[in-house]
Structure 1
Amino acid sequence: MKHARRIAVPLGIAGVVALALTGCVGDAEPGASEEPGGSAAPGAAGCEAYADYGTFDGAEVNVYGTILNEEQERLNESWAEFEECTGIDVVYEGSAEFEAQINVRIQGGNPPDLAIFPQPGLLQSVVGTGSVLEAPEAVQANAQEYWNETWQGFGTVDGTVYAAPLMASVKGFVWYSPSVWEENGWEVPTTLDEVDEVTAAIAESGVMKPWCVGFGSGEATGWPGTDWLEDYVIRTAGADVYDQWVAHEIPFDSPEIVAALDRVGALIKDDANVNGGIGDVTTIATTDFGEAGLPVLDGECAMHHQASFYEGFWGDGVTVAEDGDVWAFILPGQEAGAADVTGGGELVGAFSDAEEVVATQTYLSSPEWANSRVSLGGVLSANSGLDPANASSDLLRQAYDILQDPNTTFRFDGSDLMPGAVGSGTLWRGMVDWISGTDSETMLATVEDSWPQ
């Protein structure tokens, strides 16, 4: 893409080291003009923090991802000041068909400048096409400074860094209404056995259904079911087995995995337990995950299993707090206090090395962007430069503490790490088949047969 004038350009790692706190890189080119006071945009006040990204007249950077609706509006707002100060127009396009369409666009010679990948496994497969560029030095430097080695590894393929993390979430939260639970005398469970017990108690009470569940997500329908499976695999079989399963070092349908899925089925494949305010088990496959939890607010179901990012789905005027309209507990382990959790996040990869694209990719890897987006509410980042005070609730601050706690055994969402043909293909479809009646062993064996050779 063309731009008429450049005042300063991101130049690499030395600038990042010197300006780490601003997330900016590079020095002005010899002879390049700068405005008095260091503002990056001519005449713009308050742009000092963006000065070293450079200014670009009429430049456009297009970004493609899966973020939609309200979250898309907040994403656009998160980089508004960067746009104003640099002159770069960041044009975001969200799609529910991203996983399929990113390859279509690449094959058609029309890739975006930047893509926000929701799965490391998908990033890895797209890197295999040779179309994703190695991350600029400035992006790599930010990744090394602000994320731990585990998170850095999600954007690394065969030793080369292609992407830095963006947002993050802790999965396995169970959302509920504190006032409803107090009124009915239900206790928050501290072990998986207690999850079974409180589920049975709520069902027997006849007050409401224990669970609201939805696997629907457009072309990505089925992924919410994989979260259930992954949460139970890591909690019942342990992190080592989880790692072996994700890497296909053990069969996909190993007995430990079958047992984990059967335990999930005991909760959500029983009409007595689901689907509060919506219907029976057959409605799970078609109920959109974003809407599935809302009956909690109406007293029609007691619990909804979904990640920390679900805070952004409750809507305006809903208070997320221990004494608010909704709150959440982390799905416990076999024993009280277990610290094994799963989570997810996005990674930003580039298909262009134009200077304005490098500047934008670098900004998105900075703590400044992380704080900007998190302060708008509903999401989190694992960026260590994030000020937790910017999180929109105590629950998100709790999730951030989990991500930063060295005692946490954190594993990325398993299906997101698997080859795309499985993780966002046969497993998603398999979860729909499973919730629609296929038994655990048959479904998992079908996915096992689909694993790329």
Structure 2
Amino acid sequence: MKSILHRRLLASVAAAGVAGLALAGCTGDIENGGGGAGGDADCADYEQYGTFDGAEVTISGTIVEVEADRLIASWADFEECTGIEVEYQGTQEFEANIEVLAQGGNAPDLGIFPQPGLFQRLARGGHFVEPSADTQANVDEFWSEDWKGYGTVDGTFYGAPLMASIKGYVWYSPAEFEENGWEIPTTLDELDALSQQIAADSGHKPWCIGLGSDAATGWPATDWIEDFVLRMHGPEVYDQWIAHEIPFNDPQIVEAFDAVGDYIKNDDYVNGGLGDVRSQLSVPFGEGGLPILEGECSLHHQASFYEGFWGEGVTVAEDGDVWAFLTPPVNADDPQAVTGGGEIVGAFDDREEVQAFQTYLASDTWANNRVAEGGVISANSGLDPSVASSDLLVQSIEILQNPETTFRFDASDLMPGAVGADSFFRGIVDWIGGAETQEVVDEIESSWPAE
């Protein structure tokens, strides 16, 4: 393992639209001006990248607020040791605007893409330059073939993986579980039985959910659907669904929708401390689980990255304020299967300093630096799990690094953008609003682009 960065830099964040991604005169930038905070980096780990005089690299993505601060801190030593100034610009409108910027020749040097489907569309449009041999060597050394495949389009490698998350965690209060004698479920049937027990015994709705996310409202419920497709029908059906080898309205997908609907469209189960079923659409996803801290609900389905939303002073531990278990399988002895997300870094320019920075982001050094800053994980095999900021994230890293784990990337992120980032989200909004399952899946299926 390489040196670990423990400094944290402060940066400002502002929401931005298309202009927020423009690389000049932007008031919505998150900037890290040149070369680290303390001038005390051990540069031995950075000699391989070379040294530069007055070079600048621009990089953009959807990462904002405290996570952007931590991201910026993760390359401070790289800046100090190489002389490359990295300017990061974060906006939640990145996915909506990056293709327009690329077509107009105004893209940043590098983009951080949370949706492989969008990344692959830009690659097929000829917008990326191929990474250097050093970047590819890092990916071959530290990443699985599956992860490399997310950045590979029609046999050509274009982008390196970055961070990761495990989805399908169910957050809860250990103290409340102990006080009531509730057991962690080991099957989906036991999860439903637990929900019924909480509804009957606690005086509050068992689940609290937030689906609000501006133009992407509804996406947290797509994670529920994906978890249930994988657990109920296995990885082969999951892969067929993503590839459209079975239609979106296949009976197996309908079955998963209805199983999820038994929870999130159930007036007896949601929306603890927040309102009725429809309230899920107006509650920001980052606030969805917080009623657990007030004893107003008991369960919240959200990814490993939700650790960062609990707030200062909240202990994430088995005996802490909150902890989480994975959505269980159909049968207790089924193999571990999880869905997850991550990012792919693509380059729009092949200048030497851009290649050096892309190579660094694909390294074990960067992975350890970033995870040590807190709040995230990576599937980089050179990552030391012990540097993670909580026991839950240590566990998540170990799950990703376990060769026995069946891991599948978030389905909506792999589907064509017209589906995964549009009609699927809109379908969830209609579904929570009262539309029937068959009506929703038929409409989503009709939006699938023609071959």
Same fold, judged at TM 0.5 (above): yes
1:63 corresponding residue in structure 2 = 59
Q: Does 2:87 correspond to 1:91?
A: yes
SS of the aligned residue for 2:379 comes to: coil
Structure 1: stretches of 5+ with no match in the other structure:
1-19, 23-42
> Structure 1 residues 200 and 353, CA, compared in 2 at 3 Å: closer, same or farther?
same
Identity of aligned residues (%): 62
Q: Does 2:412 correspond to 1:415?
A: yes
The structure with the largest alpha-carbon Rg is 1
Question: d(CA) in 2 for partners of 1:45 and 1:100?
Answer: 37
The alpha carbon displacement at 1:55 in A equals 1.7
Of the three residues 277, 283, 291, the one matched with 1:281 is 277
Question: d(CA) in 1 for partners of 2:343 and 2:261?
Answer: 29
Alignment of 1:196-211 (within 5 A): 196-211=192-207
Which AA in structure 2 matches 1:367?
A: D
Question: d(CA) in 2 for partners of 1:234 and 1:370?
Answer: 28
SS of the aligned residue for 2:332 comes to: coil
Q: Does 2:349 correspond to 1:344?
A: no
Q: Does 2:221 correspond to 1:214?
A: no
Q: Does 2:404 correspond to 1:396?
A: no
SS of the aligned residue for 2:313 comes to: coil
Of the three residues 240, 261, 265, the one matched with 1:265 is 261
The alpha carbon displacement at 1:96 in A equals 1.2
Q: Does 2:246 correspond to 1:250?
A: yes
Q: Does 2:150 correspond to 1:154?
A: yes
Structure 2: stretches of 5+ with no match in the other structure:
4-38
Which AA in structure 2 matches 1:61?
A: V
Q: Kindly provide the CA deviation profile for residues 168-198 of structure 1, in whole angstroms up to 9, marking residues without a partner as x.
A: 1111000001001111121111100011111
2:316 corresponding residue in structure 1 = 320
The alpha carbon displacement at 1:108 in A equals 2.5
Of the structure 1 ranges 142-151 and 198-207, higher mean CA displacement relative to structure 2 is found in 198-207
SS of the aligned residue for 2:163 comes to: strand
Asked whether the 8 Å contact 1:96–1:220 carries over to 2, the reply is no
Question: d(CA) in 2 for partners of 1:261 and 1:240?
Answer: 18
The alpha carbon displacement at 1:415 in A equals 0.7
The alpha carbon displacement at 1:219 in A equals 2.3
Which AA in structure 2 matches 1:87?
A: G
Of the three residues 106, 109, 116, the one matched with 1:113 is 109
Which AA in structure 1 matches 2:295?
A: G
Question: d(CA) in 1 for partners of 2:230 and 2:269?
Answer: 23
Of the three residues 226, 230, 235, the one matched with 2:222 is 226
SS of the aligned residue for 1:181 comes to: helix
The alpha carbon displacement at 1:206 in A equals 4.0
Question: d(CA) in 1 for partners of 2:92 and 2:433?
Answer: 23
SS of the aligned residue for 1:133 comes to: coil
The alpha carbon displacement at 1:21 in A equals 7.0
Which AA in structure 2 matches 1:405?
A: N
Asked whether the 8 Å contact 1:210–1:302 carries over to 2, the reply is yes
Which AA in structure 2 matches 1:186?
A: W
Question: d(CA) in 2 for partners of 1:330 and 1:190?
Answer: 9
The alpha carbon displacement at 1:58 in A equals 2.0
The alpha carbon displacement at 1:57 in A equals 2.0
Asked whether the 8 Å contact 2:2–2:368 carries over to 1, the reply is no
Asked whether the 8 Å contact 1:97–1:219 carries over to 2, the reply is no
Asked whether the 8 Å contact 2:124–2:153 carries over to 1, the reply is no
2:186 corresponding residue in structure 1 = 190
Question: d(CA) in 2 for partners of 1:206 and 1:319?
Answer: 23
SS of the aligned residue for 2:298 comes to: strand
Question: d(CA) in 1 for partners of 2:269 and 2:239?
Answer: 31
Give the length in aligned residue pairs.
Answer: 416
Asked whether the 8 Å contact 1:169–1:381 carries over to 2, the reply is yes
The alpha carbon displacement at 1:208 in A equals 2.1
